[in-house]
Structure 1
Amino acid sequence: MNQFVKFIEKNSSGKKILGLFILTNCIYAFMLTVTIPKTMAFSNGMKLLDMMPMGYDLNYVTELFTALGANGRSIYLTNQIPVDMVYPLLFALSYCLLMGYLLKRLHKLNSQYIFLCLLPIIAGIADYLENIGIIVMLKYFPELTEFTVKTTNFFSLIKSISTSIFFIVFVVLLITIGIKVLHKKISANSLHN
């Protein structure tokens, strides 16, 4: 764990995090505006598996992959998935460092709160495992198994739960820092008056 703390301390400079944050969100915006709509053009309005935080089952996957047809499944596999193999690494790294940066600002980096920095890493790993499951299902469709769908769905749920918890904690930390800054300003003003 000491190595992890050292890594975060070494890399949690504002410029590095801002650069990673911008790159991560450019990739995310590209998926939202280009690769996902391009794939969904074949889906008859059905959401892609990556975009279902509450999960899915065998019936849904079968219905989606049937609706996509051969062209849609090919685009899912050759357009959306390759971009989504870059995004989880950037998400994990930039948001782990961002969380570390906020904890450092609160003087909580060398405490049990360091584990909060693992949330985006868990989400990133789950995203990769979800992608692998989707690749397997796309390659072997229509031969889908309940096991593959349930396993892939499990990783989709882990991804969405850890991402949600991360963003809740992130907002709480931002508010905490905001309150501290405000408190300092009020204290400084009352000293001058």
Structure 2
Amino acid sequence: MIRFLKKLAHKRVLFALFIITFLLELCLIYITHQIELVSGSRTLLDTQLTYTAQEAYQILDRMGAEGRSLYLKGLAVDMIFPLAYSLFLAGMVFRLLWNRHFPLKHSALISTIPLFTGVFDYLENIFEIQLVTQFPPLAEPLIYWSSRFTLLKWITLSVSVTVLLFLWISQIIRDLKRGTFN
């Protein structure tokens, strides 16, 4: 795992992952905009913190058949997106910890948080694909698990971004104090 994270933390790899993440995000924004044009709503299941069965039904119903078809296309793109952003975040966290001479085992452990975000995002997407393809009937267990994985995704993403920002800001402060900030 440490060897993998070291390779992931190279500038070229991080730059490529950033560009891929950015381009995929642009695709998702475009698809969300198309859904909004068709349905009049930008509300998607995976942008909610959590949702009930009634809320899931209302969101999917409001989309209409064309909006749900676009949503499935967006979910297809969203099957690549978690890999790109979770690897980017994990690589950035590891790089910043490594630069601080943090113990490698601890660096690797902390760097797995964004990878869990990606796993939860994949599980969320799998359940959402099932919900959209089975609509209008919605199975409550699917909604329950989809909503839980959505919540876990947002929690681990929040932790990942907070850790990344903390490390980045502390790196900048340290470099400013040393006079080595570029």
CA distance in 1, matches of 2:128, 2:7: 36
Asked if residue 75 in structure 1 is aligned to residue 70 in structure 2, the reply is yes
How far the C-alpha of 1:41 sits from its partner, in A, is 2.5
Question: Residue 129 of structure 2 aligns to which amino acid in structure 1?
Answer: I
Identity rate, percent: 28
CA spacing shift, 1:175–1:60, aligned 2, 3 Å: same
Asked if residue 23 in structure 1 is aligned to residue 23 in structure 2, the reply is no
Asked if residue 161 in structure 1 is aligned to residue 161 in structure 2, the reply is no
Asked if residue 98 in structure 1 is aligned to residue 81 in structure 2, the reply is no
**Partner residue in 2 for 1:61:** 56
CA distance in 2, matches of 1:65, 1:111: 44
Per the normalisation by structure 1, the TM-score is: 0.88
Alignment partner for residue 14 of structure 1, among 2, 11, 15? Answer: 11
Per the normalisation by structure 2, the TM-score is: 0.93
How far the C-alpha of 1:46 sits from its partner, in A, is 5.1
**Partner residue in 2 for 1:38:** 34
**Partner residue in 2 for 1:47:** 43
Pick the structure with greater CA Rg.
1
Question: Residue 70 of structure 2 aligns to which amino acid in structure 1?
Answer: I
Q: Which portions of structure 1, spanning 4 or more consecutive aligned residues, are displaced by more than 4 angstroms?
A: none
Q: What CA RMSD, in Å, does the superposition of the two structures yield over aligned residues?
A: 1.5
Question: Residue 175 of structure 2 aligns to which amino acid in structure 1?
Answer: V
Give the number of aligned pairs.
180
For structure 2, list consecutive stretches of 5 or more residues without a partner in the other structure: none
CA distance in 2, matches of 1:154, 1:183: 43
For structure 1, list consecutive stretches of 5 or more residues without a partner in the other structure: 187-193
The CA deviation string for residues 99-131 of structure 1, in whole angstroms up to 9 with x for no partner, is 111111111151424222111111111111111
How far the C-alpha of 1:43 sits from its partner, in A, is 3.3
Alignment partner for residue 131 of structure 1, among 125, 136, 142? Answer: 125
